[in-house]
Amino acid sequence: MSGQISDLIQEKQGLISQDLPTRKILLAYPINKEKEAFLKTCIFNLEREFLPDLEKQIKGNKNVLRYLLVKRIVYKAKPTRRTKPIKPIIAKEQKPTKLPEGTKATKVELEEIGKKLDEILK
Q: Mean pLDDT in the chain?
A: 82
Position 81 in a domain = no
Position 118 in a domain = no
Position 30 in a domain = yes
What share of the chain has pLDDT > 90, as a percent?
9
CA distance 67 to 79: 37
Position 80 in a domain = no
| Digit-coded pLDDT (tens) for 49-72 | 888 998 898 888 888 888 888 888
Would you say residue 26 has pLDDT above 90?
yes
Residue 86 half-sphere exposure toward CB, CA atoms < 13 A: 3
Q: Which of 75, 76, 78, 55 is nearest to 67 (CA)?
A: 55
What is the pLDDT averaged over residues 15-31? 89
Q: Which domain holds residue 21?
A: 2-60
| Digit-coded pLDDT (tens) for 28-53 | 999 889 899 988 888 888 888 888 99
Position 46 in a domain = yes
Give the count of domains, the chain: 1
Classify each residue of 27-58 as buried b or exposed e, where b means 16 or more C-beta atoms within 10 Å of its C-beta.
eeeeeeeeeebeebeeebebeeeeeeebeeee
Position 84 in a domain = no
Position 88 in a domain = no
Position 74 in a domain = no
